[in-house]
Structure 1
Amino acid sequence: MRDLIPLVQLTADVVILTVRQELEVLLVRRGKPPFEGMLAIPGGYMEPGENLWQTAVRELQEETSLDGMAHHLELVGIYTDPDRDPRGQVASGAWVAMIPDPPVARPGGDAAATQWLPVEQALESALAFDHRVILHDAVERARRSLDQSTAAVSFCRKEFTVSELRRVYETVWGGKLDPGNFHRKVTRIEGFIERTGRTTTRDGGRPAALYTAGARKWLPPSIPRPEMSA
């Protein structure tokens, strides 16, 4: 008699981050047990014919009405603690999405409501399942991505100023960068950002040049992290 294969269900959870005055995360308030009424990361079960990436994209859209294919998604990790879900053994692939100027999210699926919270506040809150651990890991993943790749532009509008890009780094990393040094470094990295030829005064003061994302995906170690704010 063949050994029975234990049944393990698969889910995808999506940590959705944006930069406003602070680094913020989109959470949903669960409308069903388990953890009914608690805040959680948007997510759901993998359906037949899907891979986990497709599940993450679908759940992002179903639970928040955001288009998952239009945003930057990175795998954070696979979470397999057998006690992480009281309904049974459930393994989850967690993803982090980095988005600019998010629209008003509308709840769906198991979500009764959605809520943007500063990341620091969310990490101090009681979250469903092991979602506080996943959120912590996703934020660290986003910080490392800014070290190694051009992911910072994913937090910016299609056209942005160097000052707006710098504020992304400062907000995600939690410290101040020297404006002049930052401007010199990012504008000298070939393929990182491209000048559009247009300007804006939305930052206040003199007109500032507008840039768009270049074709480059990976960065040399040229933008050192600042000291983290207390």
Structure 2
Amino acid sequence: MPLVRRVREPYAGRWALPGGPVRRDEDLADTARRTLVATTALSPTYLEQLYTFGRAERSASGPRVISVVYWALVRPEEAERGIEDENVAWHPADRPPELAFDHRTIVSYALWRLRTKMEYSRIAQAFLGETFTLAQLRQVYEVVLQRTLDPANFRRQVEASGDVEPTGEYLVGGRHRPPKLYRHREANDLADNGPLTGL
């Protein structure tokens, strides 16, 4: 995950999640996109509201701060376009440095939510392109869930789910027999916005 180094108190010098205030004429999702671009130069295709953090004691001093947190899932080609310098750097989400405010809690919640969504949604597609091999899809699951999955069982479960279909094409360029390329059957939004989708 990309983190930004705080340049002022409180927590000057500590890493934090990218963020910023909402403009008066701006929707929350637009604020999340604008802030992410301004701080990290990232403009991911997947952006979803995660949770609202507003415990009374989360601000050590000053006015009460309520954070409406969005999360973005970034594909490798999107990550390559991001900023990386002494004040913006990528860190392992499972092993972040000491974070400002309650940002460790936010990161823990985001990881829990991502792993939970892997069980029932098509969120893994956010890490893949339009087409993919089953091995690439399995690798996404293994990285996110942090466990090894049996390739044969995974293939059976994915094919039985009906969520993916073969494209009729193959991935070329490898040393072994070219694997089949698949795509997700539906083109639904990956974000789970319920009845608010499209509003």
Normalising by structure 1, report the TM-score.
0.73
Q: Percent identity?
A: 33
Determine the structure 1 residue equivalent to 2:197.
none
Instruction: Give how far 1:49 is off.
Output: 1.4
Aligned length: 186
The alpha-carbon distance between structure 1 residues 55 and 202, as it changes in their structure 2 partners (threshold 3 A), is farther
CA contact (8 A) 1:106 1:113 kept: no
2:177 is the alignment partner of 1:206: yes
Secondary structure, aligned partner of 1:88: coil
CA contact (8 A) 1:78 1:91 kept: yes
Cα distance between partner residues in 2 of 1:154 and 1:93? 21
Structure 1 residues not aligned, in runs of 5+: 1-24, 219-230
How big is the alpha-carbon RMSD for the aligned residues of Structure 1 and Structure 2? 2.2
Determine the structure 2 residue equivalent to 1:174.
146
The partner residue of 2:157 within 179, 185, 192 is 185
The partner residue of 1:65 within 16, 41, 52 is 41
Secondary structure, aligned partner of 2:56: coil
The alpha-carbon distance between structure 1 residues 47 and 140, as it changes in their structure 2 partners (threshold 3 A), is same
Q: Residue type matched to 2:51 in 1?
A: G
> Superposition pairs for residues 156-171 of structure 1, below 5 Å?
156-171=128-143
Structure 2 residues not aligned, in runs of 5+: 190-199
Moved more, 162-171 or 72-81: 72-81
Secondary structure, aligned partner of 2:5: strand
> Would you tell me which structure has more strand in proportion to its own residues?
1
2:45 is the alignment partner of 1:46: no
Determine the structure 1 residue equivalent to 2:93.
119
2:50 is the alignment partner of 1:76: yes
Secondary structure, aligned partner of 1:27: strand
> Would you tell me which structure has more helix in proportion to its own residues?
2
Cα distance between partner residues in 1 of 2:31 and 2:173? 38
Secondary structure, aligned partner of 1:50: coil
The alpha-carbon distance between structure 1 residues 203 and 93, as it changes in their structure 2 partners (threshold 3 A), is farther
Normalising by structure 2, report the TM-score.
0.83
CA contact (8 A) 1:195 1:210 kept: yes
The alpha-carbon distance between structure 1 residues 94 and 204, as it changes in their structure 2 partners (threshold 3 A), is farther
2:82 is the alignment partner of 1:105: yes
The alpha-carbon distance between structure 1 residues 217 and 78, as it changes in their structure 2 partners (threshold 3 A), is same
